[in-house]
Amino acid sequence: MIELALSDLEATRSLARRLAPALGAGDIIGLAGPLGAGKTTFARALIEALAQAGGAGPVGEVPSPTFSLVQVYETGAVPVWHFDLFRLERPADALELAVEEAFAGAISLVEWPERLGEIMPGDWLELRLERRGEAEGARRAVIRGHGSRGRALERALHQAAP
C-alpha cells in the first residue's frame, strides 16, 4: 500500500502521468472516494497521457461519464474504457455496459468500483482519493494493488515516484 499527500490538482494529474507507462490491455484501475475527490481529474490526465504515449494525439474533451456511465477512448495501442458507476443500481447492470469486454482487452478506469461487487475481478489497482485539509485541490491518495497484476502496478507506481 502507498499513501501519498497530493498538494494540488496538478499533483493528482502528475500521479496519473506516472502510472500511464505501466498500463496495458486488461489492466483495471478502480477510482474510489467521495464526490469531488478528484477521480475524474485523475482519469482525464491518465487518458491524455496514454493518448500522447500511443501517438493518438489529443483526445479532446474527456467528460465525466456520469450520465452515459461509460466513455471509450482510442489512445493508440490500447483503448481506454472510463466507467462512472455512481448511478448503477445493481452490479449486474454493469454487464449491460460491456464491462467484461473492457476488462478483457482494454485499460479500464472504474469510478465507484465498489458498486461492481462480485463482478470486480481479483486483479486491479485501487486508488482512493480523499480531500485533505483546507488547501484547494489538496488530496490524500491511498493506492493498493489487488491480485498479482494489481500489486505489480503498485510497485511500478512506487518506483516511478518523483
Predicted local distance difference test score (pLDDT) of residue 35: 85
For residues 115 and 41, give the distance between their C-alpha atoms in angstroms, rounded to a whole number: 20
Q: Which CATH superfamily is domain 2-159 in?
A: P-loop containing nucleotide triphosphate hydrolases (3.40.50.300)
> Which pTM does this prediction carry?
0.89
Residues in the chain: 162
Domain extent listing, the chain: 2-159
Lookup result for grid cell 482519493? 129
pLDDT of residue 121: 92
pLDDT for position 36: 80
SS (H, E, C) the chain: CEEEEECCHHHHHHHHHHHHHHCCCCCEEEEECCCCCCHHHHHHHHHHHHHHHCCCCCCCCCCCCCCCCEEEECCCCCCEEEEECCCCCCHHHHHHHCHHHHHHHCEEEEECHHHHHHHCCCCEEEEEEEECCCCCCCEEEEEEEEHHHHHHHHHHHHHCCC
C-alpha cell at 23: 498500463
Q: What is the pLDDT along the chain (162 residues), one digit of tens a residue?
A: 989 898 888 999 999 999 999 999 999 999 999 888 888 889 989 998 998 776 666 566 665 655 568 888 888 889 999 998 888 888 888 888 888 999 999 999 999 999 998 899 999 999 999 988 766 778 899 999 999 999 999 999 888 766
- Provide the pairing of β-strand 28-32 with 80-84: unpaired
Q: What is the pLDDT of residue 62?
A: 62
